[in-house]
Amino acid sequence: MSGWGVGDIPDQRDRTVIVTGANSGLGAVAARALAGAGAQVILACRNVDKGRAVAAEIGDRAQVRRLDLADLSSVREFAAGVEGVHVLINNAGVMAVPLRRTVDGFEMQIGTNHLGHFALTGLLLGKISERIVTVSSGAHAIGAIDIDDLNWERRTYKRWPAYGQSKLANLLFTFELQRRLTAAGSAKQAVAAHPGYAATGLQSHTESILDKVMALGNRLAAQSAEMGALPELFAATAAVEPGGYYGPTGLGGTRGHPGPSGCSRRARDELTARSLWDLSERLTGVKFDFTG
């Protein structure tokens, strides 16, 4: 029996979806698929020229707006320009980059992958009517949250543990967001997804020999970006469990059609999730309002 695919996306007419990082890779694939199912899609991109090229392929169901998740002023400006949206897909991310910092001084991976999306979600929460989907990674399993040094100011920076920390933060955030939505009596859903091992441009920005190694891996072992985008599309449109986590169901979760995915014990640590939430509010200055 064939698995869930783009053809199974429910009718998306009269719905608006924001996809961060929709100028390339999984985000571009997701934007095309959602628009193909009838949605109005806002491509939230740092590189608006690349975003416009994707939007031109999609047509009048797509619009491009600038969003730099590594700059909280850009996040605030973007959020202020949104009137209402059914689904937010926190898709954008960076992976295993050399040590550098965001405009606000955060380590780039935790700043972009988690803190930028945390702030964006908080600023938009009252304008989102249905779901918040956040894209994590199987690499969350190598991550650990250091509440005392989240931004690698005292530790010796290590790019892969930093990436793992940011992807673990994505899951802790999603699960804690769902707990808070439920406690507030909200029908909104927080859902997480991961693409397995998918060939995208994400693997080409480490600025090291790993770029060539991962490019070879993309050709030999990875599934396509079209398959890698299916879990986030499933999380955004299918009947899912609130607080669920979805990814490929084949070959150890690295490839195949989407379904429920397991996660590490650390991702289910509610004490760490609350501590990370409080720290994220302090660092970003964004507090969530669950009354709307």
Q: What is the mean pLDDT of residues 186-207?
A: 78
Asked if residue 121 is part of any domain, the answer here is yes
Q: Which long-range contacts (CB under 8 A, 24 or more apart) does 238-242 make?
A: 238/4, 238/8, 238/10, 240/189, 240/191, 241/191, 242/178, 242/181, 242/182, 242/189, 242/190, 242/191
- Is 197 labeled as catalytic in the residue annotation? no
pLDDT for residue 222: 73
CB 168 within 8 A of CB 144: yes
pLDDT for residue 267: 98
Q: What is the mean pLDDT of residues 74-83?
A: 98
pLDDT for residue 206: 52
pLDDT for residue 227: 95
Q: How confident is the model at residue 212 (pLDDT cuts 50, 70, 90)?
A: very low
CA–CA distance, 103 with 140 (Å, rounded to integer): 25
Q: How confident is the model at residue 252 (pLDDT cuts 50, 70, 90)?
A: confident
Asked if residue 190 is part of any domain, the answer here is yes
pLDDT for residue 221: 55
**For residue 208, pLDDT beyond 70:** no
Asked if residue 248 is part of any domain, the answer here is yes
Asked if residue 290 is part of any domain, the answer here is no
CA–CA distance, 191 with 246 (Å, rounded to integer): 8
**For residue 217, pLDDT beyond 80:** no
Q: What is the mean pLDDT of residues 82-97?
A: 97
**For residue 207, pLDDT beyond 80:** no
Average pLDDT of the residues of the chain: 93
**What predicted TM-score, i.e. pTM, was given to this entire model?**
0.92
Q: How confident is the model at residue 254 (pLDDT cuts 50, 70, 90)?
A: confident
Asked if residue 289 is part of any domain, the answer here is no
pLDDT for residue 198: 83
Asked if residue 54 is part of any domain, the answer here is yes
151, with CB counted inside 10 A (0-12, 13-18, 19+), is buried
Residue 288 token pair:
């969530």
Q: How confident is the model at residue 251 (pLDDT cuts 50, 70, 90)?
A: confident
Q: Kindly name the residue from 157, 163, 197, 246 that is annotated as catalytic.
A: 163
Q: What is the mean pLDDT of residues 120-147?
A: 98
CB 107 within 8 A of CB 98: no
- List Cα–Cα distances, 150 to 17, 134, 275, 288, in angstroms: 30, 20, 11, 21
Taking the CA of residue 259 as centre, how many other CA atoms within 13 Å lie in the half-sphere pointing to its CB?
11
Q: What is the mean pLDDT of residues 140-157?
A: 98
pLDDT for residue 203: 41
| Domain interval for residue 224 | 12-284
Please tell me the total count of domains within the chain.
Answer: 1
Asked if residue 81 is part of any domain, the answer here is yes
Q: How confident is the model at residue 247 (pLDDT cuts 50, 70, 90)?
A: very high
Share of the chain above pLDDT 90, in %: 88
Asked if residue 7 is part of any domain, the answer here is no
**For residue 244, pLDDT beyond 80:** yes
Q: What is the mean pLDDT of residues 124-145?
A: 98
Give per-residue pLDDT as tens, 15-61. Answer: 999 999 999 999 999 999 999 999 999 999 999 999 999 999 999 99
User: What CATH number corresponds to the domain at position 56?
Assistant: 3.40.50.720
State which H helix or E strand residue 62 sits in.
strand 62-66
